[in-house]
Structure 1
């Protein structure tokens, strides 16, 4: 594993902020963040990596490609590690099974897109955002919060990360598409209004999101620069949510 350990880590770099920010918000807005959250985070990240490799195995196997084999071992090992982290939590908190059941349809849709080789489809990206942002409610509940008390930051995360899906496409894969650029701007404008209604403080990061959706496409920025901008905005969202709520 050491020689090719990098292959075990999914190369979907934009996913990591989407996995981390809602989790951290839910954890630190909860009345009692604690050691159980460490187990939840480990299981969450390992589970994501295991599902990624399982989907890639299915995609390549469906095409009869021998390269599918390189994803089998990571899927099995990471899946087992995720289960080892998650089972003690489920034993102490059986309601986590309900949370997993709620996420299952979204994972199924993502798997279907992966098998068809359409992981980059707009709908697939939007579907993936839902369970990732739902983790905010799970982490908050694990820390003793009523999920109904944290629906506004969860919705803010959903609004933000849903907007990253079309925006990033305007910067990379659909950078020559005026329709995608118009669609991205058309999303970010009402998202700013909706987020501001949740909390006036959210106008700050969401205004920045709208500005970057208008100003940055077409400037030929390299993917690392695009990623750095998104990382900064994700950090701004995290800070704002923890401050505002």
Structure 2
């Protein structure tokens, strides 16, 4: 089976999964092998959930026309779920508080599953809900490495990745919506203020995020360029967090 059938092609989601985790890992005083195991388990859990939600969406809506469309998600989902359990169970035995972190993700996973069930995965609330557990991995990784609960860098990640949800819509699905553009620009303006309260240095990358939210929509930017800009934005956030906190 082709790699595209096993791994989600949502490139922005991978940045959202890894940037907060890496920030929490390298801001901790004692990063170690457990972080690599947790990252692998976290990634496998995400892929397993993706396939499970796609199976549910296709099973409920398209089974009568394309029964194989849902079935193609069964094997990848089971394989990645098994990887998640094999890696995650020993970690949870050694660090039982990880079970509380997993439980805290539950309501957001439930929201994403509900939107998948009704075939509305691109809805704005669904995207915003998906951001929360991803950014919550920053304090999880931090605590695993002996830190406290680094809430300020986690809040900065939340501000950035929440902003990517409406911004990307203005570049692709809602590129003709003036209302979405105004809402995205307004959010990014407020985000600069909030980020500056966390650290004045955060005003620098967040000013760049506002500039791209104002300048790029409506200019016919190609999707690969949109992705490249977001990769640069995510890298800038990670570098800033590691330098500031």
TM class, shorter-chain normalised? Answer: over 0.9
Once the two structures are superposed, the pairs formed by residues 180-219 of structure 1 within 5 Å of their partners are 180-219=180-219
Residue in 2 that maps onto 1:38: 36
Once the two structures are superposed, the pairs formed by residues 119-198 of structure 1 within 5 Å of their partners are 119-147=121-149, 150-198=150-198
Aligned match of 1:77 in 45, 70, 79? Answer: 79
Residue in 1 that maps onto 2:222: 222
Distance 2:141 2:85 in 1: 17
Distance 1:31 1:89 in 2: 19
Gaps of 5+ in 1: none
Distance 1:4 1:232 in 2: 28
Residue in 2 that maps onto 1:108: 110
1:56 equivalenced with 2:58 (yes/no): no
SS in 1 for 2:90: helix
Residue 88 of structure 1, CA deviation: 1.0
Residue 11 of structure 1, CA deviation: 1.3
Distance 1:198 1:93 in 2: 30
SS in 2 for 1:139: helix
Aligned match of 1:8 in 3, 6, 15? Answer: 6
Moved segments of 4+, more than 6 Å = none
Distance 2:210 2:126 in 1: 22
Q: What is the TM-score of this pair, normalised by structure 1?
A: 0.97
Distance 1:92 1:198 in 2: 33
Q: Select between 90-99 and 6-15 the one with higher mean Cα deviation.
A: 6-15
Distance 1:201 1:141 in 2: 24
Residue 82 of structure 1, CA deviation: 1.0
Residue in 2 that maps onto 1:91: 93
RMSD: 0.7
Distance 1:95 1:141 in 2: 10
Residue 4 of structure 1, CA deviation: 1.6
Gaps of 5+ in 2: none
CA offset digits 1:107-146 (Å, max 9, x no partner): 0100000111100000000000000000001000100111
CA offset digits 1:188-218 (Å, max 9, x no partner): 0010011011111101110000000110000
Residue 6 of structure 1, CA deviation: 2.4
Distance 1:184 1:106 in 2: 22
Distance 1:109 1:198 in 2: 29
